[in-house]
């Protein structure tokens, strides 16, 4: 059709060398940052720098080779971007560990990075065609729900850490099943919406200026909304509920192309959040801390918080957010320099608040660069979604890319007091095995869809002229 000719898609190239150079650059930047931390904290290049650097470089080389073999047409920018963000996260955790921050462990994180890349390569090797996931739509939905629900059903001793009931803890080992549930649910959403999109888009009555869907089609939205509120209630996990709900609405919008879904979603969410704020103390506390964080009433008695490590539940509800803001302030435009600030004063600065720690030491300049990395990563994902050839691929990669952006928005917005704070990880930066693994798998799926989208179509055996199937 003429539309294809009107918007010519440039012939994709593999760009393997460019990717390798960017990858090497990312590893070099990370090694430089390691050296910087060591010089600032101990006055010498850290002894483990070469080991860390070679380790990271080696891991990424493996990822690169697997990518070259199993997804040669994938977007060349994605892996270097993730490598750089993951590496900066490692450096920040290393820096916080060197400040004797309790809980921060760079060795642990680099191990999880290794396992994450292993999962990344395994996904690419095993999942040769992501469209097979469409056949697992309802399985994925069930798996997602089970994973999400497990911590709520387990006794607190096995699932609760610092008030949030989102863990499975067995022995010294712990995982957050919710991180993996996100992926399963996105697969479910994609499969379900592809199947129902026509009904959702077309059936329904028009009331005033918005198209109302039929009640039975509205079902999944209500179910998901109820589910996210349930998660919120039982697991005190505001972040995940917000994340899932938002992602579902976005995917619904992509699939149906109806703005009314977005409006309904927002209304439901705001209503739900308002009710939750009234009904649950811990939700109300987040609102208070958000609206007036510097108020001494909410800030509390800092002496309790200054203990090492800070007893976080004891000090005021806005103590953590204020410490983060103080960190941003201390960083200013250029930052204090790696190793020269006091990010260890911010509670949980190695996990939820790693963005504040980065802001303190790398400053506005560093954060703008970091946000740009995330923006590029998200937009590369959406680009492959645009280029994808079938609705399931489009919806899956679009959903995954949005999930990533939405996750960044919720946690960074929370830490910078743009929106109320909900606990989430900063993708690829925060310390934590489950999140890192899940996000590396997410990247593998993006890479897989991108490979499929950019791969040149097989030559037709019989040239039948210009006949093509156009997919909207």
Partner 1 sequence: MNGTLKRVAVACLAMIALLMLNVNWLQAVRAENLRSDARNTRNFYERYAIERGRITAGGKVIAQSVETDSKRFRFIRQYPDAKLYAHVTGFFSPESADAVEASENKLLDGSSADLLLRRSIDLFTGEPTKGANVEVTINPKAQKAAYDALRASGKRGAVVALEPKTGAILAMVSLPTYDPTELSGTDKSKVFTRYEELAKDKSQPLLNRTIAQTYPPGSTFKVVTAAAYLEDDSSRGPDTQVDAPQNLPLPNTNISLPNYGGAACGSGQVTLQYALEKSCNTPFGKIGMELGYDKMKEQTEKFGMGTQLGVPMSVAGSDFGKEEDKAALAMASIGQRSNRMTPLQMAMIASGIANGGSVMKPYLVSKITDAKGDAIDEADPEELSEAISSETADKLRTMMVSVVQNGTANLAQVPGVQVAGKTGTAETADGQPPHAWFISFAPANDPKIALAVIVESGAANVGAEATGGHTAAPIAKAVLEAVLNK
Nearest distance from C-beta of residue 378 to partner 1, angstroms:
5
Distance separating alpha carbons of residues 361 and 358, to the nearest angstrom: 5
Instruction: Kindly give, in sequence order, each residue whose CB lies less than 8 Å from that of residue 461, ignoring residues fewer than 6 positions away.
Output: none
Assess contact for 76 and 457: CB atoms under 8 A: no
Comparing CB distances to partner 1, the nearer of 385 and 431 is 385
Comparing CB distances to partner 1, the nearer of 23 and 252 is 252
Distance separating alpha carbons of residues 313 and 302, to the nearest angstrom: 12
Residue 330 in the binding site for partner 1 (CB under 8 A): yes
Residue 416 in the binding site for partner 1 (CB under 8 A): yes
Residue 309 in the binding site for partner 1 (CB under 8 A): no
Comparing CB distances to partner 1, the nearer of 176 and 384 is 384
Assess contact for 429 and 88: CB atoms under 8 A: yes
Nearest distance from C-beta of residue 254 to partner 1, angstroms:
5
Residue 94 in the binding site for partner 1 (CB under 8 A): no
Judged by DSSP in three states, 154 sits in coil
User: Cβ-count burial of 303 within 10 angstroms (0-12 exposed, 13-18 middle, 19+ buried)?
Assistant: exposed
Q: What share of the chain is helix, strand, coil (3-state, %, to 5)?
A: 70, 5, 25
Comparing CB distances to partner 1, the nearer of 111 and 364 is 364
Q: Which stretch binds partner 1 (CB under 8 A): 13-21, 88-96, 264-272, 357-365?
A: 357-365
Nearest distance from C-beta of residue 209 to partner 1, angstroms:
18
Residue 413 in the binding site for partner 1 (CB under 8 A): yes
Q: Which helix (H) or strand (E) holds 32?
A: helix 16-42
Residue 294 in the binding site for partner 1 (CB under 8 A): yes
**Which ranges constitute the DSSP H helices of 129-258?**
137-153, 156-159, 177-202, 215-235, 238-256
Residue 297 in the binding site for partner 1 (CB under 8 A): no
Task: Please count the residues of the chain.
Answer: 472
User: Could you say which residues in the range 149-208 bind partner 1, by CB under 8 A?
Assistant: none
Assess contact for 333 and 89: CB atoms under 8 A: no
Assess contact for 402 and 247: CB atoms under 8 A: yes
User: Could you say which residues in the range 8-47 bind partner 1, by CB under 8 A?
Assistant: 39
User: Cβ-count burial of 334 within 10 angstroms (0-12 exposed, 13-18 middle, 19+ buried)?
Assistant: exposed
Residue 402 in the binding site for partner 1 (CB under 8 A): yes
Interface with partner 1 (CB under 8 A), residue from 6, 126, 132, 333 = 333
Residue 391 in the binding site for partner 1 (CB under 8 A): yes
Nearest distance from C-beta of residue 309 to partner 1, angstroms:
13
Assess contact for 408 and 242: CB atoms under 8 A: no
Nearest distance from C-beta of residue 26 to partner 1, angstroms:
20
- Structure-block tokens of residue 299: 């800030």
Nearest distance from C-beta of residue 312 to partner 1, angstroms:
16
Q: Which stretch binds partner 1 (CB under 8 A): 112-120, 131-139, 402-410, 436-444?
A: 402-410
Assess contact for 330 and 360: CB atoms under 8 A: yes
Size of the site for partner 1 (CB under 8 A): 56
- Which of 313, 323, 270, 317 has the alpha carbon at shortest distance from 289? 317
Residue 326 in the binding site for partner 1 (CB under 8 A): yes
Distance separating alpha carbons of residues 80 and 83, to the nearest angstrom: 5
Residue 102 in the binding site for partner 1 (CB under 8 A): no
Comparing CB distances to partner 1, the nearer of 322 and 452 is 322
Nearest distance from C-beta of residue 190 to partner 1, angstroms:
11
Assess contact for 194 and 212: CB atoms under 8 A: no
Residue 427 in the binding site for partner 1 (CB under 8 A): no
Assess contact for 25 and 85: CB atoms under 8 A: no
User: Could you say which residues in the range 238-267 bind partner 1, by CB under 8 A?
Assistant: 250, 253-255, 257
Nearest distance from C-beta of residue 2 to partner 1, angstroms:
16
Comparing CB distances to partner 1, the nearer of 149 and 378 is 378
Residue 306 in the binding site for partner 1 (CB under 8 A): yes
Distance separating alpha carbons of residues 369 and 88, to the nearest angstrom: 12
Assess contact for 150 and 177: CB atoms under 8 A: yes
Q: Residues interacting with partner 1, by CB under 8 A?
A: 39, 99-100, 250, 253-255, 257, 294, 299, 302, 306, 322, 325-333, 340-342, 345, 359, 363-364, 367-368, 371, 374-375, 378-379, 382-383, 385-386, 391, 394-395, 398, 401-402, 405-406, 408-409, 412-413, 416-418, 472
């Amino acid at each position: 059709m003429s539309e294809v000719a009107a918007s010519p898609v440039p012939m994709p190239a593999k760009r393997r060398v460019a990717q390798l150079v960017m990858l090497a650059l990312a590893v070099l930047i990370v090694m430089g940052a390691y050296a910087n931390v060591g010089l600032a904290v101990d006055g010498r290049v850290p002894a483990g720098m070469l080991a860390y650097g070679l380790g990271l470089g080696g891991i990424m080389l493996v990822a690169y080779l697997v990518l070259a073999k199993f997804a040669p047409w994938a977007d060349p920018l994605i892996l270097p971007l993730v490598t750089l963000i993951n590496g900066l996260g490692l450096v920040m955790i290393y820096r916080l560990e060197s400040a004797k921050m309790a809980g921060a462990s760079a060795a642990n994180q680099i191990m999880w990075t290794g396992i994450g890349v292993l999962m990344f390569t395994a996904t690419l090797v095993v999942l040769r065609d992501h469209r097979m996931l469409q056949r697992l739509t309802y399985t994925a939905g069930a798996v997602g729900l089970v994973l999400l629900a497990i911590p709520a059903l387990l006794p607190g001793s096995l699932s609760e850490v610092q008030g949030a009931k989102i863990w499975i803890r067995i022995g010294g080992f712990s995982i957050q099943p919710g991180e993996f549930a996100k992926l399963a649910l996105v697969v479910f959403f994609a499969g379900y919406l592809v199947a129902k999109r026509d009904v959702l888009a077309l059936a329904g009555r028009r009331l005033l200026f918005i198209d109302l869907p039929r009640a039975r089609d509205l079902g999944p939205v209500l179910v998901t909304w109820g589910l996210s509120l349930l998660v919120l209630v039982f697991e005190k996990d505001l972040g995940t509920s917000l994340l899932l709900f938002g992602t579902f609405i976005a995917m619904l919008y992509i699939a149906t192309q109806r703005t009314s879904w977005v409006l309904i979603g927002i209304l439901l969410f705001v209503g739900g959040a308002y009710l939750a704020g009234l009904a649950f103390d811990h939700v109300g506390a987040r609102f208070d801390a958000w609206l007036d964080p510097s108020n001494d009433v909410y800030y509390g008695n800092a002496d309790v918080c200054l203990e090492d490590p800070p007893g976080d539940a004891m000090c005021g509800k806005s103590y953590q957010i204020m410490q983060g803001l103080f960190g941003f302030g201390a960083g200013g435009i250029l930052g204090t320099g790696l190793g020269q600030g006091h990010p260890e004063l911010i509670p949980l600065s190695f996990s939820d608040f790693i963005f504040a720690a980065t802001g303190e030491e790398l400053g506005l300049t560093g954060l703008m660069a970091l946000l740009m990395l995330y923006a590029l990563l998200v937009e590369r994902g959406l680009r492959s979604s645009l280029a994808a050839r079938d609705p399931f691929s489009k919806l899956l990669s679009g959903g995954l890319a949005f999930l990533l952006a939405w996750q960044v928005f919720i946690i960074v917005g929370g830490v910078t007091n743009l929106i109320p704070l909900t606990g989430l990880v900063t993708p690829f930066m925060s310390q934590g095995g489950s999140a890192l693994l899940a996000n590396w798998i997410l990247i593998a799926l993006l890479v897989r869809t991108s490979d499929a989208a950019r791969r040149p179509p097989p030559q037709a055996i019989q040239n039948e002229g210009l006949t093509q199937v156009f997919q909207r």
